[in-house]
Structure 1
Amino acid sequence: MDRDTRNAAIAAAVILLVFGLAAYFLPVIMLAAGKVSTVLAAVIAAVFMVGLFVVLWLRGRSQHKKGL
């Protein structure tokens, strides 16, 4: 495994770990936010989903610029 492949694997593992933990705790966070406002709970879910796609999109752009 060369350096670039190892770095890509580490980055993918970190992204999966962070968003996996966030997804695990998302129902609890949404239930707590839903007691305050249902709109707030929906916004939190939307921010989570958009955040995931933004991170993956930025990672893809970064890899494309490097020519990998």
Structure 2
Amino acid sequence: MIDRKSGPSMIAAFAIMAGFGLAFYFMPRMMIAIGEISTIAAALFAAALVGAFFDVFWLRSRFQRRMNP
């Protein structure tokens, strides 16, 4: 069951996953558009987006660890 502590965490995780899900859904189109300017920029964009996905959850875990020692 959802209690007072896990509810906000689940909502935040869902919002993060939904946001990145949309970003990854449109990533091929964005990469093609960026790739018309520079293929290196398109590759860097994709790498930054994938890295940001993991960084957000890493930062969230650090925040949760600090708030709940």
Asked if Structure 1 and Structure 2 have the same fold, meaning a TM-score greater than 0.5 normalized by the shorter chain, the answer is yes
Determine what percentage of the aligned residue pairs are the same residue.
43
Aligned residue for 2:22? 21
Partner Cα separation in structure 2 for residue 3 and residue 26 of structure 1: 35
Describe the superposition over 1:36-67 as per-residue Cα deviations: whole angstroms up to 9, x where unpaired.
11011011101101111110111110111122
Q: How many residues align?
A: 68
Tell me the equivalent position of 1:64.
65
Q: Which runs of 5+ in 2 are unaligned?
A: none
* Residue type of the alignment partner of 1:64: R
Aligned-CA RMSD value: 1.2
The equivalent of 2:34 in structure 1 is 33
- Matching residue of 2:56: 55
State the alpha-carbon separation in 2 of the partners of residues 2 and 30 from structure 1: 41
TM-score, structure 2 length as denominator? 0.91
Runs of 4+ in 1 over 3 A off after TM superposition: none
The one-letter code matched in structure 2 to 1:46 is A
Deviation of 1:25 (Å): 0.2
